[in-house]
Structure 1
Amino acid sequence: MDEALTATGAQAPRRPYRDVSLWLDQVAEQGDDLAPRPPLAGDLVVDVCIVGGGLTGLWTAHYLLEAHPDIRIAILEKEIAGFGASGRNGGWCSALFPASAAALERRHGVDAAVAMRRAMIDTVDEVGRAAEQLGIDCDFVKGGTVAFARSAAQERLARAELDEAQRFGTDPLVTIDPARFGADGARSAVFDPSCARLQPAKLVRGLARSVEARGATIYEGTAAIDFAANRVTTAHGTVHADAVVLALEAYSATLPKTHRRLLPLYSLMIATEPLPAAVWDEIGIEHGQTFGDYRHLLIYGQRTADDRIAFGGRGARYHYASAVRDDYDRVPRVFEHLRQALRELLPATRDARVTHTWGGPIGVPRDWHATVSFNRSTGVGFAGGYVGDGLSTTNLAGRTMADLVTGRRSELTRLPWVGHDSGRWEPEPLRFLGANLGVSAMALADAEERVTGRPSLAAAAVRPLTGH
């Protein structure tokens, strides 16, 4: 293991980045040593300074370089590229947007809602196309999502989703026979073809190498301390740029000026050992497919390229003052909940050994509506608020931000999320009380529906606050 010298000359072990997630562990196993790139070494002048080395920042750099190969780009990353949600997520490259089509219609009108939905659907294919063009093998297979309805209340939610898709005419959702799958208690199932399974760390690490090879410079171990018009301040120097792009997602909460813009809410995951073919025959999920159900306390899973199940969900609490710490990534109670939820949903996994557990914060805007914006007078842009639906949305954000920064008017810059202001989260302790009440309400809603068999009153009360 490479080591770095401390200020006293002693050797300090490198941070074990491969322990962050299954995905980073796999890329390390395949030869990526995850060694941090050199930090910023003094003041710098560039055309564009991107704060955050995740998918939003890297896709922005990619599309800027596509349009202007000579553009000077600096990317500042506190840890390593892909350290945050981009290297930890569930691997769903989906057309999901945190605000529903109905909510978008209420805010922006039906034409804008349809345009947003179509842009998200097209983005799934764009991720696959761009990855193939760049030679990034990220296990991209567009197999769609299977969502199981396992109670009468869940069936009502499934029918509402089908009705909404038909009304807007954008999402080609269909019902399929749940008997094809080994999902316990499944009464019906909905299939959405607009989703691909991929290995997120392979994508983000490959994209970092690609933009670097084309001239962008990634400074790792370089945390932004503050930003202002055309300027980003770090402990290693100040970067002056015509455009500053903030692409920190949940880590926006670590900067004073964006502290209340996005709430860092933790989502956790587990992964099983590779499962034998006989077990997969019983489960029925195919390669490239993702899966979940219609419970309120969200779960999500995928069949990985090496035949594991990567399975995640909500349930971890929000931490006071939007704190983000490594030890919040691992909550034994939530990991056990995920183990039980997986075995309950897919009984064929009951003997499967869990080999990896991990988690991390996602960024939640006050109205659950993602945004991309650029203020030409200050030269500062912001993108984020994906609420866990970022694996594809980051690509759309990167394409849109590239157009905004370069002043190009396009169909993307006319989408309704451009310039959207979600407002700020309440000060503490209201933020702490409200966020954790919402998490508890979702768990209560699932329990309520199991007991009553009717749609949850708790869920109905919270739905307007969660982008629906």
Structure 2
Amino acid sequence: MSGSELNGIPLTPDFANGGVSFWYRQIGLPARRAALPGSRDYDVAIVGGGYTGMWTAYYLKKAQPDLRIAILEKEFAGFGASGRNGGWLSAEFAGSRERHAAARGRQSMIDLQHAMFTAVDEVIEVTRAEGIEADVHKGGLVHVATNPAQNRRMHAELADLRTWGFGEEDMRLLTREEQEERISVAGALSAIYSPHCARIQPAKLASGLAGTVEALGVDIFEGTTVTEIRPRGAGEKGRASAVTSNGTVTADYVIRATEGFTAGIKGQHRQWLPMNSSMIVTEPLPDEVWERIGWRGQELLGDQAHAYCYAQRTADGRIAIGGRGVPYRFGSRTDVRGATQPRTVAALRSILTTLFPATAGARIQHAWCGVLGVPRDWCSTVHLDHETGLGWAGGYVGSGVTTTNLAGRTLRDLVLRRDTELTALPWVGRQVRQWEPEPLRWIGVQMIYTMFRAADRHENAQMARTSAYARLADLISGR
């Protein structure tokens, strides 16, 4: 397989690095919608045109069609993590189960996990009902352990999940034969499987959602930068408001749905840390490579490393794989429109060929990155204050594809003042302290991921237990 190279990495002739994700390169960038034409008044204003904002608008409009709803987006709907992620429609939920349980009891956390199971199927059902073609395939999720420490950790985590209500039908250990039948991963010592996960094409879902909510009567204003969100009493007409580059939008409720871009809003600089994640995608792989790998069930794939990876077999026969590149930029800056460093491409390529030696000759066609939101305690939250008229959801720590749907339905119930099972879940109303100021924030994150990478190196040298580096990194991070 000949072609150009990047530091020895074989690339397709049309290799692209940055700008947009492969997902948008595949379907083409959407035509830009008009910007906010001036100050306007709505019932609900949503800041951020990603999954959270669009799901919230969708469910509010479905529940009460006469609501006047606007989505305010700096770039275009689906520009951020919603159009750049790994395509895991997964029931995994960010944060410590113990911390969530401390808020409203152990059963409330079990209820939250079951709500996530349901949310996977809810997203699939909405795509079918609304005619959104997003390459959805519910093949489940496989996590592999590739060294003794990972193997020990995986078995301990599975035992812990049993105490949180996970039955064999939710998560189970695969036999060696089952593991090889599903996906042949080099060096895999064990694997667990969960059916609660589906593959999606992220940009197709984002684009389809945007068209769906627009057809319901939601106004989507793109190219509109929100600089400040003001509570009732501090904005115009005594209502909550979103101050933009093109005018001020007043509303009964203003919902912040900005995830990794939250730091760009006045007063929110230390709220959520924008963590960077990167991806590469191969060219379509030939049949002989797939014969060696298997992966016929098109499950999602992850590992038990501390600087973990996530992967999918795409609908057109590629492997898309991601992980941490440069984890954080000083001052909560975000990536330069998706550009990815050559060393990150090399690191992800190395993970790919280590897990799947049959891909050694495959060329890389695209590389990109994006940011996700990380709260100080690494636990997702959803909140609405009826006094101020302000609400938010996010801090998904990379597990947002499904969680955004649960957030949208929960925000619907909160806005409409419904007392439901969703509003009783323990992530609702959770208050989290801010991140430390710079340079402590930057130093801390660099230390954490340096230690995680060191821990992975030590464990790959066949350590039997989790590295002390990882335990120290977890302590510093507050996970």
Could you state the TM-score of these two structures normalised by the residue count of structure 1? 0.93
Report the counterpart of residue 258 of structure 2 in structure 1: 248
* 1:47 has 2:49 as partner: no
Report the counterpart of residue 23 of structure 1 in structure 2: 23
Q: 1:397 aligns with which of 383, 407, 421?
A: 407
The 5 A counterparts of 1:56-75 are 56-75=52-71
Q: Distance in 2 between matches of 1:117 and 1:364?
A: 20
Q: Distance in 1 between matches of 2:217 and 2:22?
A: 30
Report the counterpart of residue 212 of structure 1 in structure 2: 214
* 1:144 has 2:155 as partner: no
Q: How much does 1:35 deviate?
A: 1.9
Q: How much does 1:138 deviate?
A: 0.5
**Residues 27 and 406 (structure 1), Cα distance of their counterparts in 2 relative to 1, 3 Å cut:** same
Q: SS of the counterpart of 2:137?
A: coil
**Residues 235 and 417 (structure 1), Cα distance of their counterparts in 2 relative to 1, 3 Å cut:** same
Q: Distance in 2 between matches of 1:347 and 1:104?
A: 40
Q: Distance in 1 between matches of 2:180 and 2:34?
A: 54
Q: SS of the counterpart of 1:53?
A: coil
Report the counterpart of residue 318 of structure 1 in structure 2: 328
For the aligned residue pairs, the C-alpha RMSD in angstroms reads 1.7
Report the counterpart of residue 197 of structure 2 in structure 1: 195
Report the counterpart of residue 355 of structure 1 in structure 2: 365
Which range moves more in the overlay, 109-118 or 360-369? 109-118
Count of residues in correspondence between the two structures:
449
Q: How much does 1:395 deviate?
A: 0.4
The answer to whether the 8 A contact 2:335-2:369 is kept is no
Matched letter for residue 266 of structure 1? N
* 1:175 has 2:169 as partner: no
Report the counterpart of residue 7 of structure 1 in structure 2: none
Q: 2:277 aligns with which of 256, 261, 267?
A: 267
The answer to whether the 8 A contact 2:185-2:356 is kept is yes
Unaligned runs of 5+ in 1: 1-15
Report the counterpart of residue 247 of structure 2 in structure 1: 237
The answer to whether the 8 A contact 1:143-1:286 is kept is no
The answer to whether the 8 A contact 1:101-1:117 is kept is no
Q: Distance in 2 between matches of 1:466 and 1:345?
A: 28
Report the counterpart of residue 346 of structure 1 in structure 2: 356
The answer to whether the 8 A contact 1:369-1:467 is kept is no
Q: SS of the counterpart of 1:20?
A: coil
The answer to whether the 8 A contact 1:19-1:25 is kept is no
Q: 1:111 aligns with which of 95, 98, 107?
A: 107
Q: Distance in 2 between matches of 1:338 and 1:212?
A: 37
The answer to whether the 8 A contact 1:18-1:24 is kept is no
Q: How much does 1:452 deviate?
A: 5.4
Report the counterpart of residue 461 of structure 1 in structure 2: 472
Q: How much does 1:368 deviate?
A: 0.2
Q: Distance in 2 between matches of 1:193 and 1:466?
A: 30
Query: Structure 1, residues 229-281: CA drift from partner, whole Å, max 9, x if none?
Result: 21011111110100100000000011122111100111000000111222122
Q: Distance in 2 between matches of 1:327 and 1:214?
A: 30
Q: How much does 1:149 deviate?
A: 1.0
Q: Which has the higher contact order (CA 8 A, sep 6+)?
A: 2
* 1:95 has 2:91 as partner: yes
Query: Structure 1, residues 11-33: CA drift from partner, whole Å, max 9, x if none?
Result: xxxxx9994001111121xxxx5
Unaligned runs of 5+ in 2: 1-15, 232-239
* 1:79 has 2:80 as partner: no
The answer to whether the 8 A contact 1:296-1:446 is kept is yes
Q: Distance in 2 between matches of 1:133 and 1:467?
A: 41
Which range moves more in the overlay, 447-456 or 77-86? 447-456
Report the counterpart of residue 283 of structure 1 in structure 2: 293
Matched letter for residue 173 of structure 1? M
**Residues 39 and 439 (structure 1), Cα distance of their counterparts in 2 relative to 1, 3 Å cut:** same
Q: Distance in 2 between matches of 1:444 and 1:72?
A: 52
Matched letter for residue 384 of structure 2? F
- Aligned-residue identity in percent: 46
Matched letter for residue 161 of structure 2? A
**Residues 436 and 110 (structure 1), Cα distance of their counterparts in 2 relative to 1, 3 Å cut:** same
